[in-house]
Amino acid sequence: GVGKRDEEIREALKEDILLLNLESEAEMKRVAIIAEELGVEARISIRVNPNVDPQTHPYISTGLHENKFGVSIDTAKRMYIYAKKSPHLNPIGVHFHIGSQLTELSPISEACEIVADLVRSLKAIDIDIKFFDIGGGLGVVYDNEVTIKTSEYARVISKATKDLDVTILMEPGRYMMANSGIFLTRVLYEKQNGDKRFVIVDGAMNDLLRPSLYGAYHKIEAVQKDGEKTPADVVGPVCESGDFLGKDVELPLLDNNDILIVHSAGAYGFTMSSNYNTRGKVAEVAILDGKDYLIRQRESFEDQIRLEEACDTSWL
Ligand SMILES: Cc1ncc(COP(=O)(O)O)c(C=O)c1O
């Protein structure tokens, strides 16, 4: 991310990780100081912001100059030259990540070509870039999106980098996780406000934020429940009208304790969850070879207040 704290930089250097992706000149100077303190040489890569519109939701677009991420090509060149001269920095990589949930190939191809050109100009001045980190971004199917074929993705990347002698690194988090996980929630009540039908469930925006944050779509289905389907908003108990998991979802009439499946919750689900409204975080269950394993316990009220401390009121 754009704001690495000293202790995070120190830990990364002590752990001797492959490289640190730097997001600003100020951060680079901080890394050099910490590397000097530790008596090590930091292997670094610079996150370039190629100013390419990734054609995704503005909150998950990261490759335009108006976004906080990375540095311009000109700044990157200056940083590489500085790093090359520094005894505490070893510039061995380049990085870009233009956005998440990308479903168009052309912005990726454009960004690859821009960054590959940068690598060529760096190699020409003896800065030997060995790692070409293309970030994540590969979109997945939540609804009926037409996504990028991985073979096409590989083709544009290898086309841009074929003469560069670099190792490709990638970080496709959503692609690996989103459709590997579901979120299960229980129905509490049905409710009708005028013409509007609501299904109130025990899951909420604190558990799965994407619908509230981005208006994101997640397919929702009732488990083993038949009957005529009509549209309903699936909403949680949190004190916000923005607390919904789905809008106008076609569902049969539901009863207390019925279970709904909220699909595609494996990425940006639990990791984005919070304790808003003093709601404990959910339990996590992994399924392996048809067997289920509890891999994270449901959070209790005691877990939530464990770190709280009383004020000293003796002066009152
Ligand atoms: C630098 C970087 N790499 C990878 C990812 C993962 O992206 P995705 O989950 O879309 O693959 C992100 C997400 O924000 C990111 O910022």
What's the CA gap between 91 and 161, in Å, rounded? 18
Contact 138, 89 (CB under 8 A): no
Predicted confidence (pLDDT) per residue in 172-206, tens digit = 999 999 999 999 999 999 999 999 999 999 999 99
C-beta atoms surrounding 144 within 10 Å = 7
**Smallest Cα–Cα separation from 211: which of 177, 179, 249, 161?**
249
Confidence of residue 315 (pLDDT cuts 50, 70, 90): confident
Domain residue spans in the chain? 6-175, 181-298
pLDDT(216) > 90? yes
Ligand 1 centroid–CA 172 distance in Å is: 6
Over residues 150-166, the pLDDT tens digits come to 999 999 999 999 999 99
- The one catalytic residue in 124, 146, 223, 239 is 239
Residue 139 CA: nearest ligand 1 atom is 10
CA angle 137, 138, 143 (to 5 degrees): 115
**What is the overall mean pLDDT for the chain?**
96
Distance from C-alpha of 89 to C-alpha of 118, rounded to nearest angstrom? 19
Q: Report the atom number in ligand 1 closest to the C-alpha of 135.
A: 3
Question: CB of 69 closer than 6 A to ligand 1?
Answer: no
Residue 31: per-residue pLDDT: 98
Count CB atoms within 10 A of the CB of residue 52: 22
Q: Taking a C-beta distance cutoff of 8 angstroms, is the pair 249, 175 a contact?
A: no
Q: Write out pLDDT tens, residues 19-34.
A: 999 999 999 999 999 9
**Does residue 112 have an active-site annotation?**
no
State the average pLDDT over residues 40-48. 98
Residue to mutate (ligand 1; options 141, 147, 171; most atoms within 8 A of CB)? 171
- 213 CA → ligand 1 middle, Å: 17
- Report CA(178)–ligand 1 centroid distance (Å): 13
Which fold is adopted by the domain 6-175? TIM Barrel (3.20.20)
Rounded to 5 degrees, what angle do the CA atoms 16, 18, 21 make?
Answer: 110
Q: Is the CB of 172 under 6 A from ligand 1?
A: yes
Asked if the model's pLDDT at residue 67 lies above 90, the reply is: no
- Find the mean pLDDT for residues 102-113: 96
Q: Which CATH superfamily is domain 181-298 in?
A: Lyase, Ornithine Decarboxylase; Chain A, domain 1 (2.40.37.10)
**Phi/psi of residue 57, each to 5°?**
-60, 135
pLDDT in tens, 254-270: 999 999 999 999 999 99
Q: Which atom of ligand 1 is nearest to the CA of 100?
A: 10
Cα 133 to Cα 95: distance, rounded to the nearest angstrom: 5
